[in-house]
Amino acid sequence: MNTRQRRTLLGLTAVATGMGMFTTAADAAVPPPEAPQAPVSGYTYVERSSRLSSDPARSVSAPCPSGKVVLAGGVRIVGGGGRVLLRGSYPGHSASGHRWLATAERIGGRTPARWYLRAYAVCADKPAGLTYRTVPSAFNSNSGKSITGTCPAGTRLVGAGARLRGASHRVGINSVTMTQLTQRSASARAAEAVATNLPWSVAVHLACAGPLAGQTFRESGWKAAVGRAQSRTVVVDCPRGTRAFGAGMRLAGASTTLNRLVPVELRPTQSPAGARVTVSELAPGRAATWYVKAQVICAR
């Protein structure tokens, strides 16, 4: 091959490579871009309330429309004089349908104050890779438990909740926290409000799916509560053009203080899209300082 032929071959090779006809070793190491994802279809926000009363325990569920699946949800406790424990806020799914369930109980089963419970569900058409996971802690009488669950590989966390078993009217959920780093995990924390030798456990509930279109994780800044019998509300907004799915929270402070905190509101919001978290100390409050953040998962 003479010099002119070699130059011609090199030129043709360069053109062909630029047109994508040939693949170099460096090109092969670059993964192909993900296929464009369609927005979540059938997005529906459902709310339901229990009746207002002084009953010792309340439960309510927000049902998804027929054919829809539950992806996330939340809860709100209204009233109760600072003497109501959150016992559950989690997805329910069976052959009879999908829903978000909320349960709460008065401390010791006694309080004259009237109160009610509200459940919120985020429902939609079934996304690819939808999986539900429940991870329980040990069932024993140890006080102060936390448990973490992780979505399967190839999926992301869409919604998270928690549920207690055992020691009724004595143990309450303190927080449900979503992990920002991997966007696949969530944890639940619970503690005794009234000392007990009864066994109990807390479970974290996860709704997982393949990455949703435009899925992002947002977290507010810290908001401080200083002094006695404090309550703090924190909100976080989704980016424009996205909708709210899972809601979570983060707490910081001394363990003895965190054990007496109740998320009386932990839910995604529809308008504006985001999450709203309200945390209160059980009455009577303590002279302590603690901090709270709100979290939300957003997608188109």
Interval 232-290: pLDDT, tens:
999 999 999 999 999 999 999 999 999 999 999 999 999 999 999 999 999 887 778 99
User: 166-222: per-residue pLDDT in tens?
Assistant: 999 999 999 999 998 779 999 999 999 999 999 999 999 999 999 999 999 999 999
Q: pLDDT by residue (tens digit) across 103-113? A: 999 998 766 79
Q: What is the pTM of this model?
A: 0.87
Written out in words, the top-level CATH class of the domain with range 44-299 is mainly beta
The whole-number pLDDT of residue 168 equals 97
Q: Is the pLDDT of residue 14 over 80?
A: no
What is the SS3 string spanning the chain? Answer: CCHHHHHHHHHHHHHHHHCCCCCCHHHHCCCCCCCCCCCCCCCEEEEEECCCECCCEEEEEEECCCCCEEEEEEEEEEECCCCEEEEEEEEEEECCEEEEEEEEEEHHHCCCCCEEEEEEEEEECCCCCCEEEEEECCCECCCCEEEEEECCCCCEEEEEEEEEECCCCCEEEEEEEECCCCCCEEEEEEEECCCCCCCEEEEEEEEEECCCCCCEEEECCCEEEEECCCEEEEEEECCCCCEEEEEEEEEEECHHHHCCEEEEEEEEECCCCEEEEEEEECCCCCCEEEEEEEEEEEEC
Q: Where are the domains of the chain?
A: 44-299
User: Residue 34: is its pLDDT beyond 50?
Assistant: no
What are the pLDDT digits (tens) for 203-219?
999 999 999 999 999 99
Q: In the predicted model, what is the mean pLDDT of residues 87-105?
A: 97
- CA-angle at 191, arms to 120 and 285, nearest 5°: 85
**pLDDT tens for residues 110-138?**
667 999 999 999 999 999 999 999 999 99
Confidence at residue 130, expressed as pLDDT on a 0 to 100 scale: 97
pLDDT for the residue 111: 67
